[in-house]
Amino acid sequence: MTLPTIEQLEALEAEIEQTLYTLIDLELEENFPEMNTRFAQLLAKVQAAQLIDYKLDVLVDPQAFATETCTLLQSLVEAKARPHKRQRLLTHRMILKIWLRKNQRFMTEFLPQMF
């Protein structure tokens, strides 16, 4: 297994951050189908970087990565660890909820506007 280069990880971090802000905007617009599409595309890129596998298991130590990458990986770990009723499949929406709640900007700026 070859790990991505520093430049590739920096590009991935920038893409994760940009996607996060796009997802926040889509959440405010309640455009959930587009949110799922964008998030699935992001997860495919994270998988291509060999940070997760096809089952969304994290293959690396999240703490070894930049802020947004670390937060996303921790969100995946947390989502997989949560008990699910009747063994429901882990959905993008479940992971997104955790990831957005871990983001301070979302919690302080956007979430209060939603109510």
Q: Give the count of beta carbons closer than 10 Å to the beta carbon of residue 112.
A: 8
Q: Share the mean pLDDT of the chain.
A: 83
- Local structure of residue 51 (DSSP, 8 states): S
Please compute the mean of the pLDDT values over residues 22-45 and round it to a whole number.
Answer: 90
pLDDT value at residue 22? 93
pLDDT of 41 reads 94
pLDDT in tens, 56-112: 899 999 999 999 999 999 998 988 887 665 455 566 677 777 777 777 666 666 666
Query: What percentage of the chain carries pLDDT values higher than 70?
Result: 80
Q: How far apart are CA 36 and CA 83, in angstroms?
A: 22
> In sequence order, which residues have a C-beta less than 8 Å from that of residue 67 and are 6 or more positions away?
13
